[in-house]
Amino acid sequence: MKRSENIMVSIYMITYNHEKYITQAIDSILTQNVQFNYEIVIGEDCSQDNTRSIIMEFAQKFPGIFNLILQEHNVGIFENQMAVFKACRGKYIALLEGDDYWTDPFKLQKQVDFMEANPEYGMVHTDFDEKRDSVFQNYNRCHSLRIPEGNIFDNLLGDQWLIHTPTIMVRAVLIKEYRTFYYANIEETQKWLFDDIGIFLYVASRSKIKYFDYSTAVYRILEESCCHSKSWHQRLLNGCSLYDIKLFFVRKYNVKNQKIVRSLMTGMNKTKLRIAFLEHNLSEAVVAFYQLLKYRAPDFKDCILFVGSFSFINLITGKIQHNK
């Protein structure tokens, strides 16, 4: 039987300019020790390096395993990932982006075994290692976190980033539901910078989530990526998008826990205040500061940023915006 038949797991991968890392990522899939058929679905978004030629060589070397989605022009992360999700045929989907890699050769088998035996769980994830340049760090041991499992929707609305993409396996039916959910709310969801957070929250709203306390993957931290940046301004914009996603789910599912709502609104408006200060946007600074007052007393740094927004440059900018 060919591996392209009776697919149990689809490995989802999106890639762009990952020439340095893509071989290690794919090799870590091909060395998985499994007792079922799988496919590797890769969305290549018109890289400017040799990423495309590398994945095409793999597809030629291992026929029947790869399904390559070669975009004709750069479509961006969301359109690329939705095309990959749509192409996945497996009962389960495991996510691995082109700059990360797996370290446990039994990752897929152990996760499938659990999911098959526990239908009430929609997702499973594990501990992981981080790699920045050549430095490794184990996330869970380093931060001494107790990772919750089961019904964790409220936990995911908190500040901790509990689930990391290269470690997960999710039921494909939930991804299909999520795609419908995403497009039904496209006016808001298209603004999200972190669609995987949307997936995690949606799955948590529909099912239990299991955590295994051992590492199966390496999450690579690049200087510039959709999740990381050297720019303080970009990091603030990323943080604002993260709060946007969580507050969307708070509204969508009518979350009543005021501690969660207060924490998210406080974090959102603190972030907006910092963005307004950097962008010399006086009107946005005023809105953020007074919204912050509704949920928590501003701290000293908040007040300094607010007062700093009333600089000569900000006043001029504010007048121009007002006149427009």
Task: Specify the pLDDT at position 142.
Answer: 46
Check whether residue 158 and residue 268 sit in a common domain. no
Check whether residue 59 and residue 143 sit in a common domain. yes
Check whether residue 100 and residue 210 sit in a common domain. yes
Check whether residue 274 and residue 214 sit in a common domain. no
Domain assignment present for 226: no
Check whether residue 152 and residue 273 sit in a common domain. no
Buried b (16+ CB within 10 A) or exposed e, 47-77: beeebbebbeebbeeeeebbbbbebeeeeeb
The structure's pTM equals: 0.87
Task: Specify the pLDDT at position 322.
Answer: 41
Task: Specify the pLDDT at position 188.
Answer: 92
Please provide the size of the chain in residues.
324
Domain assignment present for 230: no
- Please identify, among 220, 245, 268, the residue that sits at the C-terminal boundary of a domain: 220
Check whether residue 185 and residue 114 sit in a common domain. yes
Task: Specify the pLDDT at position 320.
Answer: 41
The amino acid present at 267, given as its one-letter code, is G
Domain assignment present for 52: yes
Ranges under pLDDT 50 in the chain:
1-2, 141-142, 224-225, 228-229, 312-313, 315-324
Q: CB within 8 A of 73, min separation 6: which ones? A: 46
DSSP per-residue codes, 25-54: HHHHHHT---SSEEEEEEEE---SSSHHHH
Check whether residue 12 and residue 114 sit in a common domain. yes
Task: Specify the pLDDT at position 278.
Answer: 84
Domain assignment present for 236: no
Task: Specify the pLDDT at position 308.
Answer: 72
Count the domains in the chain. 2
Check whether residue 154 and residue 277 sit in a common domain. no
Check whether residue 147 and residue 68 sit in a common domain. yes
Domain that holds residue 50: 7-220
Task: Specify the pLDDT at position 318.
Answer: 47
Check whether residue 198 and residue 275 sit in a common domain. no
Q: For residues 26 and 55, is the Cβ–Cβ distance under 8 A?
A: yes
Q: For residues 216 and 103, is the Cβ–Cβ distance under 8 A?
A: yes
Check whether residue 162 and residue 46 sit in a common domain. yes
Domain assignment present for 246: no
Task: Specify the pLDDT at position 234.
Answer: 74
Task: Specify the pLDDT at position 200.
Answer: 97
Beta-ladder partners of 40: 11, 66
Q: For residues 9 and 36, is the Cβ–Cβ distance under 8 A?
A: yes
